[in-house]
Structure 1
Amino acid sequence: MLYFHAYCIHKLFDDIWARLLDLATSLQQLLILSLSRPLVNTHNIRAFRFGIPWIVKVTQRTVSTEAHALRYLHAMGLGLPVPQLIFCCIHRGITYTVMTLIPGTSLMDAILGGDMTPDAVESVAQEVAVVLSKLQTLRQSPTDAGKVMMSASGHHLPDPVVFFEKRSGPYRCALDLWAHCGDYFDLTEMKGDVEPATLDIMAAEPIQYVHADLRIYNIIVHDGHLSGIIDWEDSGWFPSSWQVHTLRWPRFGCYGPWLQYWLRYHFSEEAEAAYAASKTFLIKSPV
């Protein structure tokens, strides 16, 4: 009987605590929404009122979020031009991430407005290449070494094979990820179809931290120079050639002088070799 009463009291306090937490996040959500307004031409970004230089991203996920990525990137002390995380809260399965507003305009808007010549776009691309070189110095923790399609929080990421309709990963090694992207049932099937030399090249490339969507609408410019890079929620650990694919696949936001620069740019020897090898078995770009 005493055990039963203790259990009931414990459950009561758990329920009260859960309700208090829900109330607290409800108040945070209300405050965020009342202090901000929807940003034009976006579906999940809100800008703060009263000249406060913050924005809030609203996402229907609680793992692999922008907050996880920004915390990690700033903790590494590389001085990257990325937003500063102010705070985030989760309310009923939705994450509200408040971060600083990067000054300037998107490279896409600058190009469409006639403010960026092809040479100016190339200059910005060179500045982005410097950021990529800094990202390449990051190393996985020993406990996660080799895992790919893994976010800064250690979780899965949007699956490009099914048009981001679901999440997949982390994969235990790069070859498992490539087997998935090559539409093979598993690595065993891939090994029966792909040349061993190609597999060796794919297995030898290093794992790097990659921004999965470096298109011109995520590049912010100010006075003709790189001001910052945004939209890090889908960034994470990938094979190094993944970054090559993200920048050399012609599509909306990756065209013109921007695309031409990355088609000429020389990534690391391992990344270039794996990129060339991957195109021998991939049906389409993995990003």
Structure 2
Amino acid sequence: MPNHPTSSLQPQQLSEEQECLVRDWATKERNGGTIVNKQLIEWFAERVIRRDGVRDGHVPDFDVDTFLDRHPDLAQRLVAPAAPEHKKPKTEKATRQSGLDRLREMRQQDATFARFGDSPPPPREPAPYPEGEVIHQCLNRWIVRHGDTVTKYTTYPHGLDGSDYPNEARALRFIKEHTTIPVPELISSDWDRVTMQYIEGQTLRQAWPVLTPDQRSDILAQLSGYLAQLRALGGIHLGRLNGQGVIVPGILTRSGGPFGTMIEFHDWLVQPPKMLQTESIYWHQITTQLSNDHPIVFTHGDIAARNIIVRDGRIVALLDWEFAGWYPEYWEYVFTLRGLDNMDWETLGRYVTSLFAKRYDLEYILVRFILSLS
């Protein structure tokens, strides 16, 4: 979970180029759901200065308030969102829906069907939402810090994954028992939330631009070792730890299975969308290119820069094990490339394939194409 340390240097003034970097970085973080505050901006600006060094014996001055005065649009976005409220039952007068409301409802129905088919979980009454500092909020997902713990919860009516004991909670305990991969200690969980240890640090997405080359190399080597530990854990079926089916993340995240064989999994994965049923032979060709001989291994399923916490140039936690479970050995390769390649091709993206002992480039191309149409 992102750490917001206060600056230990004297106030610093960035060059125009550095200031643009800080502004763009803060905007990208906020767009990704991170609640950016002054301390976090100071942290990044300070490290930009350290990275670039002192020029001509001049230590530049930086004042975060002055910086925000020059960027009022960014300053307005620093306000943390208010905690959500439980929705009250609609009255008869409220049954009329605007076109936008109907569209949202239809999207919600489509998302529910993609995850649960014709058998969604029954509605539940959530416990009160936890109080604390909101440090991340994106769509219906919230992360709230309270002291040395954080609670990840959702306002989605079916909870994190529709089960009483979320898959992420099971995965945290499984990883603690079977690997040396650093993950937060699980405190408690319920159908719509997971409370865990707060980990001091920054996400790799936040820290990558200001890491030294040696730190970057060390982090990639660490990550490669952690991925190797996961891939050494073999399975006999395809699905998540809590007994639910596999997850295919995307604009419309879908779930299917569990599956007993790779053939069953691929037949389900490569189903043509309704709009492309007439091109079924085309989709059949994709199926024939996906080998059914891949081993089944334990997989995180969402290795991305936002889910890797670093501190002092080292990985201190891997987060977001919600999709974790048993998948084809190529699955982690596909979604790790998708999660890390979109950061910076020159300094990170082109090195991601080296995290794996074997490349799965054909599977990467095919699965990415399937995701683009389904």
TM-score (normalizing by structure 1)? 0.69
In the TM superposition, 1:41-190 aligns within 5 A as 42=138, 43-48=141-146, 52-59=147-154, 60-61=159-160, 62-63=162-163, 64-76=166-178, 78-90=179-191, 95-111=192-208, 114-140=209-235, 145=236, 147-148=237-238, 150-160=239-249, 163-184=251-272
Structure 1: any 5+ residue segments left out of the alignment?
A: 1-24
Q: CA separation in 2, counterparts of 1:252 and 1:278?
A: 16
The one-letter amino acid of 1:129's match is: S
Determine helix, strand or coil for the equivalent of 1:125: helix
Question: Higher RCO, 1 or 2 (CA under 8 Å, sep at least 6)?
Answer: 1
Which of 245, 252, 260 pairs up with 2:350?
A: 260
Q: CA separation in 1, counterparts of 2:167 and 2:363?
A: 28
Compared CA separation, residues 107 and 189, structure 1 to 2 (3 A)? same
Q: CA separation in 2, counterparts of 1:225 and 1:235?
A: 23
Aligned length: 233
Deviations 1:70-109 (A, max 9, x none): 1222232x2220111011123xxxx221101122110111
Compared CA separation, residues 223 and 242, structure 1 to 2 (3 A)? same
Which of 303, 322, 328 pairs up with 1:233?
A: 322
Compared CA separation, residues 285 and 251, structure 1 to 2 (3 A)? farther
Q: CA separation in 2, counterparts of 1:157 and 1:164?
A: 14
Q: CA separation in 2, counterparts of 1:124 and 1:226?
A: 6
Compared CA separation, residues 195 and 239, structure 1 to 2 (3 A)? closer
The one-letter amino acid of 1:234's match is: F
Q: CA RMSD in A?
A: 3.2
Q: CA separation in 2, counterparts of 1:252 and 1:195?
A: 25
Q: CA separation in 2, counterparts of 1:281 and 1:214?
A: 19
Determine helix, strand or coil for the equivalent of 2:315: strand
TM-score (normalizing by structure 2)? 0.54
Contact 1:54 1:100 in 2 (8 A): yes
Compared CA separation, residues 118 and 181, structure 1 to 2 (3 A)? farther
Compared CA separation, residues 190 and 242, structure 1 to 2 (3 A)? farther
Compared CA separation, residues 110 and 282, structure 1 to 2 (3 A)? closer
Q: CA separation in 1, counterparts of 2:221 and 2:248?
A: 29
Q: CA separation in 1, counterparts of 2:177 and 2:331?
A: 24
Structure 2: any 5+ residue segments left out of the alignment?
A: 1-124, 274-279
The one-letter amino acid of 2:134's match is: P
Q: CA separation in 2, counterparts of 1:57 and 1:279?
A: 30
Determine helix, strand or coil for the equivalent of 1:261: helix
Compared CA separation, residues 280 and 83, structure 1 to 2 (3 A)? closer
Which of 223, 227, 234 pairs up with 2:312?
A: 223
Compared CA separation, residues 281 and 219, structure 1 to 2 (3 A)? closer
Q: CA separation in 2, counterparts of 1:283 and 1:254?
A: 17
Q: CA separation in 2, counterparts of 1:154 and 1:193?
A: 30
Deviations 1:150-181 (A, max 9, x none): 11111124333x63444222222223333333
Compared CA separation, residues 119 and 47, structure 1 to 2 (3 A)? same
The one-letter amino acid of 1:261's match is: Y
Which of 357, 363, 367 pairs up with 1:278?
A: 363
The one-letter amino acid of 1:284's match is: F
Contact 1:158 1:164 in 2 (8 A): no
Q: CA separation in 2, counterparts of 1:177 and 1:69?
A: 22
Compared CA separation, residues 106 and 283, structure 1 to 2 (3 A)? closer
Q: CA separation in 1, counterparts of 2:318 and 2:368?
A: 30
Contact 1:215 1:254 in 2 (8 A): no
